[in-house]
Chains A and B, each alone.
Chain A
Amino acid sequence: MRHTIQQVFRSGKFVVGFFILVAMLLIVIVYPLIVTYPPLQIISQGTFFPPGIYVNVYDSIGSTRYTLNLENAAANRIASKLSNNDRHAMKDWLVAAGIPENEIDINDTEQLLGLWKGNYDPRVNIAGMTNAQRNYYIRLNNSLQGLLSTEAVIIAARNADIGALQEAGVINPSDYVNVNQVPNVRVLPLGTNSFGRDVLTELVKATAVSLQIGFVAGTIATLIGLTLGLLAGYIGGLVDDIIMFFTNLFTVIPTIVLLILISFSIGQEKRGAFTIAVVIGFTSWVWTARAVRAQVISLRNRDHVNLSKLSGHSVAHIILTDILPYIASYVVMALILQISTAILAEAGLSILGLGPKTTEVPTLGLMLNWALIYQAPILGKWWAYLPVILTIVLVTFSMNLMNTGLDQVFNPTLRE
């Protein structure tokens, strides 16, 4: 036994898969201890805030201000306002207004802004321009106002007594605050999603739930498959015929169809994460049962089983000590595969809107479902779905890697 485990951990593939899985489990366990926000709390007003560090503006006005004279501050400021698309649009307008194309260099910001200031007039009508485009240019023009100015900005507050605005402070272009001194800063490494929830916190919770679903469903499926396979294979005869009848029945109906029908008939209200796990478990035992049965049939006439019979052992004892240890390696592999299949099955069901009900727990599948419903892929909000897909891929990849590694240890003909 110890020897087998040593051998397993000498397999590179198994070790890589195992470490990915253990790392994910650790993150899932440790992250909620460090970040204690409720995972489903709605924090953003509005949807799909991009990933980043969110610093409270109000607090930063009150914070100590430092003056830093950095060279490229002004250039960065302009660049962030003036995207590449905007520069191309400005060039298009200027060309249409009659400026020779070779005089415009969109990479030279000062020259471009100079040309724009000198030529742009919102009243000029350019042939072929739609109303939406005209409004776009007006908005663009407004946002460019004051871009090159180096004047300070005055902050005003309303005086409670006289109701007039009073100067509260002046902000220079070279003023900085230290983020560490601003009391309210929230890091959203993966932004917020369609409901305004923190994607990372939700993702960690969803991974935990999906892994739980996987473990529960995988264990149920393996237990059912193992029990039926052992009974059918060892006892044989009529028991075998009956079990194989049902196994074949389940084999010919595609699992996903069965899952969809059962999930639908359970109804939205009763579908918790655990229910879904049980449903997946009860529909995916078929192949384990068939494989275990085949292995048991080849084992049951071996001499060591005969010797055990001659030693007066009961059927249960023989199955547990003379058959089960011999197929244990296969069962472990089947379990790992069942877990990863169950995680995928949950994701598949949830994408179709047949997953666990949506108000209490997130799952990886549900997060994808929400991202799809709110059109995150079309809007380009990658942070709402890409990390989820990567997590699913990583979980199933690690498990399949472990499986291949185990396969090579237990089946020497597959070794490279």
Chain B
Amino acid sequence: MPAERKVCLSGSGLTKVFGFGRRKTVAVDHVDFSFYEGELVSIVGESGSGKTTFAKMLLGLLKPTEGEIYFQGKKRDISTQKKRKEYWKNIQAIFQDPYSSYNIFRKIDTVLLDCIHMRGGRGLPRAKKLEMMEEACSFVNLKFEELTNKYPFELSGGQMQRLMIARVFLLKPKILLADEPTSMIDACSRATILDELMQLRDEIGMTIIFITHDIGLAYYVSDTVYIMERGRFVEHGSADEVILRPKGAYTRRLISDVPKIYEEWDLSTV
């Protein structure tokens, strides 16, 4: 990792409160963070610890109750549709459940065309657009000819998630937020998808924010790990540092919760 790292996305005192009065829930509680360009950050926590809320705030889909987000050193401004569109050219997401991520009434072609159009390719000739879509699909080992004129729900979960990656390939954002992208996928497809994500990162040099409850997986893929407990980052640092020498009790518990097979190939390397 280069010595001089540029901060890509950072935030201070980011808070999200749902409800008010006695029903108040603090989902994210005054968190500070700095994500560097080109790094793979994992955010690990139990379900209900506020990971997804945090992700949605980063994406600009939820308005923070308090705190600021800085994108490339400048305060993020997404107050108008135009500015939001500009911001979303830089940050994209892969959601947890591929089955509910697609509009069931829109064909796969339109999903991919949307991405080309978003990158300013609206005026391109039809042949060029097709070529781009084919390229994106072959990157994730899908055949475009088999997908065209189909609906997303006709694919398997793994294929859908790979199509998501193809989408990101076309959009080439600076940051990708992957919210448990493999948790609904069977174990065999899981490795393929992770590999393809890694390839994509090397290809376009983007920052990946990887959200997961699986600390073994986080150790396997990430450079930096943030541990989230009840809306707070309780521990963060390089993957080795956090997972091999955990300071907090919560982190230790997360590690001990990892199934045996992981434990063996994860921690025997100490």
Residues in B with CB closer than 8 Å to A306 are: 56, 59, 61, 93, 95
A322 at interface (Cβ–Cβ under 8 A)? yes
With contacts A309-B88, A310-B88, A312-B118 known, is A322 near B103, CB below 8 A?
Answer: yes
Q: A302-B100, A312-B85 are in contact. Are A307 and B61 (CB under 8 A)?
A: no
Q: Check B109 for interface membership: any CB of A closer than 8 A.
A: no
A307 to B56, alpha carbons, bound, how many Å? 11
Q: For the complex, is A358 an interface residue (Cβ under 8 Å from B)?
A: no
Q: Is A325 an interface residue, CB under 8 A from the partner?
A: yes
Asked if B138 CB lies within 8 Å of chain A CBs, one says: no
* B81: chain A residues within 8 A (beta carbon): 314-315
How many chain A residues touch B (Cβ–Cβ < 8 Å)?
18
B101: CB under 8 A from chain A?
yes
A 286-315 to B, binary, CB cutoff 8 A, 1 in contact else 0: 000000000000000011101111111111
Interface-centre pick from A304, A306, A312 (highest chain B CB count, 10 A): A312
**Complex: A315 Cα to B100 Cα, angstroms:** 20
Given contacts A312-B85, A315-B81, contact A307 B102 (CB under 8 A): yes
Task: Say if the beta carbon of B37 comes within 8 Å of chain A.
Answer: no
Residue B166 lies at the interface, judged by CB distance under 8 Å to chain A: no
Cβ-defined contact, A307 with B101, below 8 A:
yes
Q: How far is the CA of A302 from the CA of B85 in the complex (A)?
A: 19
B95 near A303 with CB under 8 A, answer yes
User: In the complex, are the beta carbons of A303 and B105 less than 8 A apart?
Assistant: no
Chain A's nearest CB lies how many Å from the CB of B83? 11
Given contacts A312-B85, A321-B106, is CB(A307)–CB(B95) below 8 Å? yes
- Closest residue of B by beta carbon distance from A308: B103
Q: Is the CB of B85 within 8 A of A321?
A: no
Tell yes or no: B68 within 8 A of A by CB: no
Residues on A with C-beta less than 8 A from B106 are 321
- Look across to chain B and name the residue whose beta carbon is closest to the beta carbon of A310: B88
Q: In the complex, what residue of chain B is closest to A315 when comparing beta carbons?
A: B81
Question: Whose C-beta in chain A lies nearest to the C-beta of B99?
Answer: A303
Q: Give the total of B residues in contact with A, Cβ under 8 Å.
A: 23
Nearest-Cβ distance from residue B119 to partner chain A, whole angstroms: 10
Q: Which of B93, B97, B102, B104 contacts A310 (CB 8 A)?
A: B93
Closest chain A residue, CB of each to CB of B89: A312
B87 smallest CB distance to A (angstroms): 10
Contact with A along B92-130 (1 / 0, CB 8 A): 110111001111111000000011001000000000000
Q: Are B103 and A304 in contact (CB under 8 A)?
A: yes
Closest CB-CB distance, A275 to chain B, in whole Å?
Answer: 38
- Closest approach, in angstroms, between the C-beta of B179 and any C-beta of chain A? 9
Q: How far is the CA of A306 from the CA of B101 in the complex (A)?
A: 8
On chain A, the residues within 8 Å of B105 by CB distance are 1, 321, 325-326
- Which residues of B have CB within 8 Å of A308? 103
Per-residue CB contact flags for chain A residues 201-223 toward chain B (1 = under 8 Å, else 0) read 00000000000000000000000
A354 to chain B, nearest CB (A): 43
Would you call B103 and A311 a contact (CB within 8 A)? Answer: no
Q: What is the bound-complex CA distance between A379 and B101, given in angstroms? A: 67
Bound Cα distance A306, B88 (Å): 11
List chain B residues, Cβ under 8 A from A315: 81
B61–A313 CB distance below 8 A: no
Instruction: For the complex formed, measure the closest distance between the CB of A298 and the CB atoms of chain B, giving whole angstroms.
Output: 12
B207 → A minimal CB distance (Å): 16
**Mask of A322-362 contacts with B, CB within 8 angstroms, 1/0:** 10011000000000000000000000000000000000000
State whether A309 touches B61 (Cβ < 8 A). Answer: yes
| B52-106 interface (Cβ within 8 A of A) | 56, 59, 61, 81, 84-85, 88-89, 92-93, 95-97, 100-106
Chain B residues contacting A309 (CB-CB under 8 Å) are 61, 84, 88
Which residues on A sit within 8 Å (CB–CB) of B59?
A: 306, 310
Q: How far is the CB of B101 from chain A (nearest CB, A)?
A: 4
Q: Which residue on B lies nearest to A314, using beta carbons?
A: B81
Q: Which residue of B lies closest to A302 (CB)?
A: B100
Cα distance, A314 to B114, chains bound together (Å): 12
In angstroms, Cα B97 to Cα A304, docked, is 10
Query: Across the interface, do A304 and B93 meet the contact criterion of CB distance under 8 Å?
Result: no
Do A304 and B88 have beta carbons less than 8 Å apart? no
CB distance from A342 to the nearest CB of B (A): 29
Q: Determine which of A1, A304, A313, A326 lies in contact with B101 in the assembled complex, contact meaning CB atoms within 8 Å.
A: A304
Contact with A along B179-203 (1 / 0, CB 8 A): 0000000000000000000000000
Q: Which residues of A contact B93 (CB under 8 A)?
A: 306-307, 310
Q: Check A303–B100 contact: CB distance below 8 A.
A: yes
Contact, CB under 8 Å: B88 / A312? yes
In the assembled complex, how far is the CB of residue A4 from the closest CB belonging to chain B, in whole angstroms? 10
Tell me which residues across on chain A come within 8 A of B95, comparing CB atoms. 303, 306-307
Residues of B within 8 A of A302 (CB): 100
Contacting residues, chain B, for A1 (C-beta < 8 A): 105
Give B61's nearest chain A residue, CB to CB.
Answer: A306
**B114 CB contact (under 8 Å) in A303, A304, A313, A325:** A313
**Residue with the greatest number of chain B CB neighbours at <10 A, chosen from A304, A310, A313, A322:** A310
Could you tell me the distance between the alpha carbons of A386 and B125 in the complex, rounded to whole angstroms? 67
- Of all A-B residue pairs in the complex, the 10 with the closest CB atoms, nearest first, are A312-B85, A325-B105, A303-B95, A311-B114, A303-B101, A304-B103, A312-B118, A303-B100, A310-B88, A322-B103
A-B contact pairs, 16 of them (CB 8 A): A303-B95, A306-B93, A306-B95, A307-B93, A307-B103, A309-B61, A310-B59, A310-B92, A310-B93, A311-B114, A312-B114, A315-B81, A321-B103, A321-B106, A322-B103, A325-B103
